[in-house]
Amino acid sequence: MYAGECQLNKVIDLFGAESDVVFAQHHWPTWGQKRVVTFLEHQRDMYKYLHDQTLRPANHGYTMLEIAEMLEIPDALGKQWYNRGYYGSVSHDIKAIYSLYLGWFDGNPATLHQYPPVEASRRYVEAMGGAEAVLEKGRTSFEEGDYPWVVQLVNHVVLADPENGAARELQADALEQLGYQAENGTWRNFYLTCAQELRNGVMQMPAPNAASPDTIVAMPTEMLLDYLAIRLNGPKAAGADLRIELRFTDTKERYLLVVKHGVLNYFRDRNGAKPQTTVTLTRATLNEILDGTTTAADAIAKGSLKITGRAEALSEFIGLLDTFDFWFNIVTSNVETCDTEGRSVVRKRAKIPPYRMLV
């Protein structure tokens, strides 16, 4: 935030006196030199106000959630239409600033080691007298127009019992009301998308492929290897011990890939590494394998990929890589998870040991 404010000052100093129009990201242009400078100054001061007035109460001991509710923007800034929350929100920005400097922990040990959502929700529902008692409280709050509380309260029932249709419908109703009232589009989309999820489940619609051919081609090799490291299934790869050297004939690059302890490390031009397997190919061939337009076996058959040493190591490595679904649960719990071998299994109740007093 502070860096952004400084950059806007530079923009004003360098170009303010000579600017006729500024094209912004989420609204129409601002025309006229004086209006351009005023716009940039208001943007600068808005960012600076959010930054400084988040850290000020934080130093008084207020938490992220408290600051997000207590901070108000001065009219001189907040009533400018281009500073309104039609795309983002002040609440969201404050929480991001707080997290940047202080992290997720608010200092209260009650939040230091909380149960994960499903386990906590089961306990909340039991403590409040069961699902029907929680829903009755939720219905009353809905009639009173306290929609944020309905969403927070009833979500415990949804997580504790995903098949509870009454809970899903009530939470969806409250989310729709919040969506209708939301000034900014991002929050509205979250509210309404999750209402749809509660009623219809996660819809598997056509989705963009993040690992598209264009994206993969544009990645430098080391960035591509970083991407593969993220895809490596750590629990599944925990017992693996692979040393594979990639030699690219077109780019003249050479990388040693080491999979050990469930981690992928790579080293460029590592001499004397003694790999188990050496794979010689072009970067283009690797791109095609990763975007799914060919396979390693097909590339070997065509002669565009050659392996020396333990040939199975390459297929073992590829088998350790996860693929990611574009669509996933947001407001409901995932009905499936993966075991330590990477197999899909039905979610089971977590075996969390009770806390006991140590004497």
Whether 318 has a pLDDT exceeding 60, the answer reads: yes
- Based on the fold, state whether residues 192 and 96 are members of the same structural domain: no
Cα separation, 132 vs 118, whole angstroms: 18
- The reported pLDDT for the residue numbered 348 is 40
Residue 269 belongs to domain spanning: 213-319
- Based on the fold, state whether residues 188 and 225 are members of the same structural domain: no
Residue-averaged pLDDT of the chain: 88
CA nearest to 335, candidates 226, 142, 208, 202:
202
Whether 342 has a pLDDT exceeding 80, the answer reads: no
Q: Which of 178-182, 313-317, 335-339 has the lowest mean pLDDT?
A: 335-339
**Apex CA 58: angle with CA 57 and CA 63, to 5°?**
105
Q: What integer is the mean pLDDT of 204-230?
A: 83
Distance of CA 51 to the CA centre of its chain: 22
Q: Is residue 325 part of a domain?
A: no
- The reported pLDDT for the residue numbered 272 is 79
- Beta bridge partners, 277, equal 244, 309
Q: Which of 102, 134, 168 is the last residue of a domain?
A: 102
Quick check: 40 and 75 in contact, CB under 8 A?
Answer: no
> pLDDT tens-digit profile of 61-118?
999 999 999 999 999 999 998 888 888 899 999 999 999 999 999 989 999 999 999 9
- Based on the fold, state whether residues 18 and 91 are members of the same structural domain: yes
- Domain with 218 in it: what CATH number? 3.30.1050.10
Helix ranges restricted to H, 110-265 = 117-127, 131-143, 147-160, 165-181, 185-200, 213-218, 221-231, 234-237
Angle, nearest 10°, between helix axes 117-127 and 147-160? 100
How far CA 155 is from CA of 164, 330, 334, in Å, comes to 11, 11, 14
- Domain with 179 in it: what CATH number? 1.25.40.880
Helix ranges restricted to H, the chain = 2-15, 33-59, 64-70, 75-78, 90-102, 117-127, 131-143, 147-160, 165-181, 185-200, 213-218, 221-231, 234-237, 283-290, 296-302, 312-319
CA nearest to 229, candidates 267, 201, 191, 195:
267
CA nearest to 64, candidates 90, 102, 120:
102
Q: Is residue 330 part of a domain?
A: no
Whether 340 has a pLDDT exceeding 50, the answer reads: no
Provide φ and ψ at 244, rounded to 5°: -120, 125
Can you tell me whether residue 260 is helix, strand or coil? strand
> pLDDT tens-digit profile of 123-146?
999 999 999 999 999 999 999 999
Whether 13 has a pLDDT exceeding 70, the answer reads: yes
Q: Which of 2-6, 277-281, 349-353 has the lowest mean pLDDT?
A: 349-353
Cβ–Cβ contacts within 10 Å for residue 101, how many?
Answer: 11
Q: How confident is the model at residue 339 (pLDDT cuts 50, 70, 90)?
A: very low
Cα separation, 331 vs 351, whole angstroms: 23
> pLDDT tens-digit profile of 39-53?
999 999 999 999 999
How many domains are there within the chain?
A: 3
Q: Is residue 81 part of a domain?
A: yes
- Based on the fold, state whether residues 220 and 302 are members of the same structural domain: yes
Quick check: 102 and 65 in contact, CB under 8 A?
Answer: no
Q: Which of 76, 102, 128 is the last residue of a domain?
A: 102
- The reported pLDDT for the residue numbered 210 is 62
